[in-house]
Structures are given as structure tokens and as C-alpha cells.
Amino acid sequence: MKKDLARSIVTTLFVAAVLILFSTPAPGQVQATGGGVAMTSLEHLKSKSSGPAPRTADGKPDLSGLWGPDPHFMGDFSAALKPGDVLPLQPWALKLTKERLPKDDPNANCLPAGVPRMAPYPWKVIQTPKLIVFLMEGNMHTYRQIFMDGRGHPKDMDPTWYGDSTGKWEGNTLVVDTVGFNDKFWFDSSGHPHTEKLHVIERYRRPDSGHLEFEVTIDDPGAYTKPFTLFGHSPLMVNTEIMEYFCVENNQDISHIVGTEKAGRAE
């Protein structure tokens, strides 16, 4: 009897703790999640819609819309692995991750996030049959073009922050294939690295009107011992729009970032 009571107290405590940890904060309430206040500011703007996903005139799933970021793709992207999976970092890549300092994070220096890193700001999908465009509010106010017209990747590419993306439909899934990356961006603020051998395959699905699901397979034989897949979710954002965000406008932080603490999970 005594044992049952103790067990039920522990269960109640655990449920209460989980509720506190994962409850949706009210607008203006500060909560410790990836992206800090910028993420909190989006909480009350998430769509509650769970109706069927819309389709375009040509019958494809319509992914158009303003989507919220997934905090697992910010501080430490291993948070987006399947539970139990670990990042297959090569030794040099693990060493570099540990050595990197927060002041050198390209994001802190207002440089682009690259793929699949996210900033705590919304991004917009503009979909046409032959071209899909992602507009990013932050961390750079920038864009990605996904060519849907059947072209391949160019043979001679200069490495870039977002690479060259081609896309195709596999049933209800948009499959985006990207190569041609530079090695400058960090995968997250923990500093996980990659090389120019990086090849990313993203698979986007809209299970209902209010949600986007995606899987990102990272294949970089230069920095990882095998390919691995990350899983993400984006909520549809309503009653807001992409807003102008030029990070370089007033970035006073760098000279004050003197600590070594990173935002992500411990290695």
C-alpha cells in the first residue's frame, strides 16, 4: 500500500514535471527552448489547423506557406536524430566541434545558416511547378531555389552556403537533393562541422494543413563515418509574415562573446 502510494506520488511528480517542461507558454512568457525569446514569440502564432493539406492545380501537395522553425536544428542538431542514435563524427570532426568557440559561430557573425540549420524565425515556401523557393527571415535574410524542371546539378560549381538544389516529387513527398556546399557554415551552434563533400537529401511532407514534416539525410564522407538522418517538424504560422531581418545592421555581440559555453547539448 505504502509502495503504491509512493509510486503514484512519483508518477504525479513526473507528469507534472513533463507538463511544466513541455507546456506551451503564453505570449510574452519566457521559456528555455532553442531560440529563446524569438521562438517564444512564435508560440501563439502557430496554426491550430489539422484539416487536409491543400493541393496545387496540378494535383501535387501544396507546401506553400509560412513555416516555423524546429528548435532541434539550432543548438545541437543531434537532438533531431532518432532517439538512441549518435552522430557518426570522424575523430577530427569531433575534435573540431569541441575546439570551436561561440564567438566564431558564423550565425553569431550574421553569416548564413546553411542546410539544415534553422534560425528562430519563420521561413516561407513559394511553390510553382518548375521552381520552389524558400525565403528565410533569419539568420540571414536569404533564399534557396529548388529547381523542379528536371535539370541536374551543374558539373562545375563554386562551393556556396546553400549549394545547388534540385527537387522532385515522390508521391506526396518533395525530395530535395543538394550538393555544392562550402565548408564554412556550422550545422548548429555546437559547432558540428562538415566538408565540401556534403550531400544533403531533404524529404518534405505536409501531413495536414497545419504541419510540415521533414527528414534530412546528411552524407558527408569527409567528416562523418556514415550517412545519418535527422527528423523535423515545422508548424504553419498564422497572423504574421516574414519580417525584414538584416543581422549585420546592429550586431554588437561579438566583442562581448567571451565565454566558451555553447547552447547545445553536451557531447
Partner 1 sequence: MRTMVGVLVTGLGLLVAALPALAHHSFAAEYDAKRPVTLHGVVTKVEWFNPHARFIIDVKDETGKVTTWNLELASPNALRRLGWTRDFLQVGGEVTVVGVLAKDGSKLATARSVTLADGRKMVAGSSASE
For binding to partner 1 (CB under 8 A), which residues are involved? 3, 6, 10, 13-14, 17, 21, 27-38, 40-42, 45, 71, 74-76, 79, 101-103, 105, 107-108, 110, 119-121, 137-139, 189, 240, 243-247, 249-266
Residue 104 or 168: which CB sits closer to partner 1?
104
Contact by Cβ (8 Å): 116, 230: yes
Residue 4 or 170: which CB sits closer to partner 1?
4
Residue 10 or 126: which CB sits closer to partner 1?
10
**How buried is 174 (Cβ within 10 angstroms: 0-12 exposed, 13-18 middle, 19+ buried)?**
buried
SS3 24: coil
- Shortest Å, Cβ 192 to partner 1: 13
- Shortest Å, Cβ 145 to partner 1: 24
- Shortest Å, Cβ 19 to partner 1: 12
Contact by Cβ (8 Å): 192, 198: no
- Shortest Å, Cβ 208 to partner 1: 24
Return all residues near 245 (Cβ < 8 A) that are at least 6 apart: 121, 137, 138, 139, 141
Rounded Cα distance, 23 and 228, in Å: 30
Rounded Cα distance, 125 and 197, in Å: 27
Residue 175 or 257: which CB sits closer to partner 1?
257
Contact by Cβ (8 Å): 196, 173: no
Residue 175 or 263: which CB sits closer to partner 1?
263
Contact by Cβ (8 Å): 237, 122: yes
- Shortest Å, Cβ 91 to partner 1: 24
